[in-house]
């Protein structure tokens, strides 16, 4: 079995800082890259798909939640290294509207936490800044 080819160009992705009753949803990655780190739900944008459509799809696939997108909270660039690819991640502030989290196999835990209560959780780079920017839009 051969390893999948790495893309030769940056890939566009989306993530959502989803707020509910003043708390933000964090999901823990179940596999590499980022295994064991908490982050926001999200993923790659498919060709021809708008950013909002991609975020709704990714949040549904990964958590089953329904959300209302409030606005762009920021962006982050992840450069190649340590087995990861090159990504430009557009992060949005969102509000939970329906359903309870049901994780797919990409994640093995979730937490609703107050933004100031992340403590010593292992989180992905830039996460705290994105959450703080998103919080201002909620």
What is residue 33's predicted lDDT score, i.e. its pLDDT?
Answer: 78
What is residue 85's predicted lDDT score, i.e. its pLDDT?
Answer: 85
What is residue 87's predicted lDDT score, i.e. its pLDDT?
Answer: 93
What is residue 83's predicted lDDT score, i.e. its pLDDT?
Answer: 64
pLDDT tens track, the chain, 138 positions: 555 667 789 999 999 999 999 999 999 999 987 899 999 999 999 999 999 999 999 999 999 999 999 999 999 998 887 667 899 999 999 999 999 999 999 999 999 999 999 989 999 999 999 999 999 999
What are the domain boundaries of the chain? 12-136
Hey, what CATH topology would domain 12-136 get?
Nucleoside Triphosphate Pyrophosphohydrolase (3.90.79)
DSSP string, the chain: -PPPPPPSS-EEEEEEEEEETTEEEEEEESSSSSTT-EE-SEEEPPTT--HHHHHHHHHHHHH--EEEEEEEEEEEEE-SBTTB--EEEEEEEEEEEE------TTEEEEEEE-GGG-TT--B-TTHHHHHHHHHTT-
What is residue 2's predicted lDDT score, i.e. its pLDDT?
Answer: 56
* Token pair for 125: 């780079």
Distance CA 123, CA 86 (A): 19
With 0-12 / 13-18 / 19 or more C-beta atoms within 10 angstroms meaning exposed / middle / buried, residue 2 is exposed
- pTM of structure: 0.93
What is residue 1's predicted lDDT score, i.e. its pLDDT?
Answer: 53
């Amino acid at each position: 079995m051969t390893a999948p080819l790495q893309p030769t160009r940056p890939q566009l992705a989306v993530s959502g800082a989803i707020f509910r009753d003043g708390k933000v949803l964090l999901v823990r990655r179940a596999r590499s890259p980022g295994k064991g780190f908490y982050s926001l739900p999200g993923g790659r944008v498919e060709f021809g798909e708008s950013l909002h459509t991609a975020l709704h799809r990714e949040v549904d696939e990964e958590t089953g939640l329904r959300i209302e997108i409030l606005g762009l909270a920021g962006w982050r660039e992840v450069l190649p290294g340590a087995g990861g690819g090159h990504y430009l991640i557009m992060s949005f502030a969102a509000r939970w509207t329906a359903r309870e989290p049901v994780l797919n196999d990409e994640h093995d835990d979730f937490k609703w936490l107050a933004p100031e209560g992340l403590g010593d959780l292992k989180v992905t780079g830039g996460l705290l800044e994105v959450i703080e920017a998103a919080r201002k839009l909620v």
